[in-house]
């Protein structure tokens, strides 16, 4: 909690020469930068020294995962060399984060200076700001890893979550200030829809299509190994016109869900690993048939998950269209992140409590 307080404190320290009024109007009229603000943990909307948030680290992680498809040595490092290999892989990701943060910080500050939001004209101050936001992003990456080490959730995700939650009091205040008694039914309907949507996100996030895996018995000397049953889980994982923007956004979410799944989940590799370990899916021949079976299941699961993600992503646009109240929003990337972080943190805290109970016996 103290580390999250440090993050929120740093999110209030702005870079030099910021026109607050221009900045506010810029973010209100730009969907893309509003999304980037979420991934910065809410630190971008006042141009703080940590305004990049953990975005560069997330980008570096995605790039490194893409590179595993192109560079066999990286793929072997990540998938086949165990924990040591993953530690090296993560170290390369950190190295890549530095130039990405510098490039992103420079580009963003140049854009905002051209919009006359950042008003400083001194090159020394400007490049000092670029250096400061780069260092701020690296500091948050380190902060996130410190939180992760405590085994109470993913630190990077918790930083984003803290920024999302920090907006709730402001949104609640705006809703109360603009409250209209004639719209009481709208407010009640929004509350009901909010509960249903959050419940739906939890159900789909926790949902699995369990594929049974059997392991053949192996005899070594006088001991018998294997013969057990397990499961392979498949979890559901320029535009000012709102209709055009929402449609484009929905389609992109579906396409990138399939694309990212294709990168991170290789049925052929899983089939080979099962065969090497003496495992098989009951009723399915090992090898190519197993890979085809997993692909078929995966396509069905991803279709449902992709449509659900796309719907959640554009839900704020739909809700605002029907309610006509800007402060009443539900859904979107922020909701997905918040629910996922809370669920993951609950699981890790529960596992810590169970470990401490066993230590007490």
Query: Which of 166, 192, 216 lies at the terminal end of a domain, its last residue?
Result: 166
Asked whether the predicted pLDDT for residue 252 surpasses 90, the reply is no
- Considering the domain architecture, whether residues 281 and 214 belong to the same structural domain is answered as yes
pLDDT tens for 269-292 read 788 877 777 777 888 888 888 888
- Considering the domain architecture, whether residues 108 and 212 belong to the same structural domain is answered as no
Query: Which of 118, 141, 166 lies at the terminal end of a domain, its last residue?
Result: 166
Q: What is the mean pLDDT of residues 158-166?
A: 81
User: Residue 337 domain-assigned?
Assistant: no
Mapped onto helix, strand or coil, the DSSP state of residue 50 is coil
- Considering the domain architecture, whether residues 159 and 293 belong to the same structural domain is answered as no
Contact 156, 52 (CB under 8 A): no
In sign, the C-alpha dihedral spanning 206, 283, 257, 138 is positive
If we measure between CA atoms, which residue out of 48, 60, 20 comes closest to residue 108? 48
pLDDT tens for 179-212 read 677 777 777 877 787 788 888 888 877 777 777 7
Domain with residue 112: its CATH number is 1.10.3370.10
- Considering the domain architecture, whether residues 216 and 325 belong to the same structural domain is answered as yes
Instruction: Classify residue 212 by its DSSP letter.
Output: E
Instruction: Classify residue 15 by its DSSP letter.
Output: P
pLDDT tens for 125-152 read 888 888 988 999 999 999 988 888 887 7
Judge if pTM exceeds 0.85: no
pLDDT value for 303:
87
Q: What is the mean pLDDT of residues 1-12?
A: 86
Cα–Cα distance between 314 and 293 in angstroms, integer?
32
pLDDT value for 339:
82
Instruction: Classify residue 234 by its DSSP letter.
Output: -
- Considering the domain architecture, whether residues 243 and 285 belong to the same structural domain is answered as yes
pLDDT value for 98:
93
User: Residue 326 domain-assigned?
Assistant: yes
- Considering the domain architecture, whether residues 199 and 126 belong to the same structural domain is answered as no
Q: What is the largest CA-CA distance in the chain?
A: 80
- Position with higher pLDDT, 60 vs 345: 60
pLDDT value for 235:
58
Asked whether the predicted pLDDT for residue 35 surpasses 70, the reply is no
Asked whether the predicted pLDDT for residue 6 surpasses 50, the reply is yes
- Considering the domain architecture, whether residues 27 and 87 belong to the same structural domain is answered as yes
Query: Which of 166, 191, 214 lies at the terminal end of a domain, its last residue?
Result: 166
Residue-number span of the structural domain to which 196 is assigned: 180-330
- Considering the domain architecture, whether residues 154 and 6 belong to the same structural domain is answered as yes
User: Residue 196 domain-assigned?
Assistant: yes
User: Residue 347 domain-assigned?
Assistant: no
Give how many domains the chain has, as a whole number.
2
Asked whether the predicted pLDDT for residue 232 surpasses 50, the reply is yes
User: Residue 173 domain-assigned?
Assistant: no
User: Residue 54 domain-assigned?
Assistant: yes
Average confidence score pLDDT of the chain: 77
User: Residue 152 domain-assigned?
Assistant: yes
pLDDT value for 234:
61
Share of the chain above pLDDT 90, in %: 4
- Position with higher pLDDT, 351 vs 29: 351
pLDDT tens for 72-115 read 888 777 766 777 888 888 888 999 999 999 998 898 888 878 87
318 pLDDT tier (thresholds 50, 70, 90): confident
If we measure between CA atoms, which residue out of 163, 140, 137 comes closest to residue 3? 140
239 pLDDT tier (thresholds 50, 70, 90): very low
Cα–Cα distance between 215 and 217 in angstroms, integer?
7
- Considering the domain architecture, whether residues 307 and 186 belong to the same structural domain is answered as yes
pLDDT value for 231:
62
- Considering the domain architecture, whether residues 154 and 190 belong to the same structural domain is answered as no
User: Residue 314 domain-assigned?
Assistant: yes
Mapped onto helix, strand or coil, the DSSP state of residue 118 is strand
32 pLDDT tier (thresholds 50, 70, 90): low
- Considering the domain architecture, whether residues 136 and 256 belong to the same structural domain is answered as no
The token pair that represents 50 in the structure block: 């940590």
- Considering the domain architecture, whether residues 263 and 320 belong to the same structural domain is answered as yes
pLDDT value for 135:
92
Continuous H helices in 207-327: 242-264, 267-276, 288-323
313: exposed, middle or buried (Cβ count in 10 Å: 0-12, 13-18, 19+): buried
């Amino acid at each position: 909690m103290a580390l999250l307080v440090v993050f929120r404190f740093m999110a209030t320290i702005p870079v030099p020469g910021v026109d607050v009024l221009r900045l506010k109007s810029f973010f209100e009229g730009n969907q893309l930068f509003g999304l980037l603000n979420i991934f910065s943990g809410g630190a971008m909307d006042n141009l703080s020294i940590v305004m990049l948030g953990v975005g560069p680290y997330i980008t570096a992680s995605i790039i490194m995962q893409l590179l595993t498809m192109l560079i066999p040595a990286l793929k072997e490092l990540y998938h086949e060399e165990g924990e040591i290999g993953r530690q090296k892989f993560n170290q390369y990701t950190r190295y890549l984060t530095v130039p990405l943060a510098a490039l992103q910080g420079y580009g963003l500050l140049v854009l905002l200076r051209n919009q006359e939001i950042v008003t400083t004209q001194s090159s020394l101050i400007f490049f000092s700001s670029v250096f400061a936001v780069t260092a701020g992003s690296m500091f948050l990456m380190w902060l996130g890893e410190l939180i992760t080490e405590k085994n109470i959730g993913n630190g990077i995700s918790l930083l984003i979550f803290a920024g999302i939650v920090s907006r709730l009091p402001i949104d609640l205040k705006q809703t109360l200030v603009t409250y209209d008694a004639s719209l009481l039914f709208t407010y009640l309907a929004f509350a009901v829809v909010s509960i249903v949507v959050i419940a739906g996100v939890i159900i789909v996030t926790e949902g699995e299509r369990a594929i049974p895996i059997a392991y053949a018995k192996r005899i070594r000397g006088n001991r018998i190994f294997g013969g057990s049953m397990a499961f392979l889980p498949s979890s559901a994982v320029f535009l000012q016109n709102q209709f055009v923007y929402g449609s484009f956004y929905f389609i992109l979410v579906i396409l990138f869900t399939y694309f990212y799944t294709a990168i991170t989940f290789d049925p052929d590799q899983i089939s080979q690993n099962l065969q090497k370990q003496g495992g098989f899916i009951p009723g399915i021949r090992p090898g190519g048939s197993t890979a085809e079976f997993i692909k078929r299941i995966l396509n069905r699961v991803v279709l449902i998950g992709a449509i659900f993600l796309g719907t959640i992503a554009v839900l704020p646009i739909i809700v605002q269209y029907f309610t006509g109240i800007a402060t009443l929003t539900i859904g979107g990337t922020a909701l997905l992140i918040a629910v996922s972080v809370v669920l993951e943190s609950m699981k890790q805290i529960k596992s810590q409590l169970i470990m401490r109970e066993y230590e007490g016996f």
